[in-house]
């Protein structure tokens, strides 16, 4: 497995300024350990409704990024719905 940056390292560490790498065929964000611990603590303390809302917001953001990138590797409607709804095909 290799971790290769796909862009320059950020100058600051705001919420949308983490370095993104490709790792094992997936994109991953390099975040400070304190941020990771805070996110895990928030996840554990969140209500099921808040977790559902956060998951929906994350999927919406991913879809916005995908559309902004010109829909690379576009998939069928069925594959897209399975992905967006979190079910297997």
* Rounded Cα gap, residues 29 and 6, in angstroms: 11
Model pLDDT for residues 22-76, shown as the tens digit of each residue? 988 888 999 999 999 999 999 999 999 999 999 999 999 988 988 888 877 777 8
Between 78 and 74, residue with greater pLDDT: 78
Q: If you count them, how many residues does the chain have?
A: 89
Given the DSSP bridges, would you call strands 26-30 and 19-23 parallel, antiparallel or unpaired?
Answer: antiparallel
With 0.85 as the threshold, say if the pTM is over it.
Answer: no
């Amino acid at each position: 497995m290799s971790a290769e940056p796909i862009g320059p390292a950020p100058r600051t560490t705001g919420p949308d300024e983490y370095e993104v790498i490709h790792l094992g065929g997936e994109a991953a964000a390099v975040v400070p350990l304190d941020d990771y611990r805070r996110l895990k603590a928030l996840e554990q303390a969140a209500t099921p409704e808040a977790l559902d809302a956060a998951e929906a917001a994350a999927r919406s953001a991913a879809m916005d990024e995908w559309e902004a990138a010109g829909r690379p590797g576009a998939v069928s409607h069925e594959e897209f719905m399975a992905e967006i709804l979190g079910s297997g095909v």
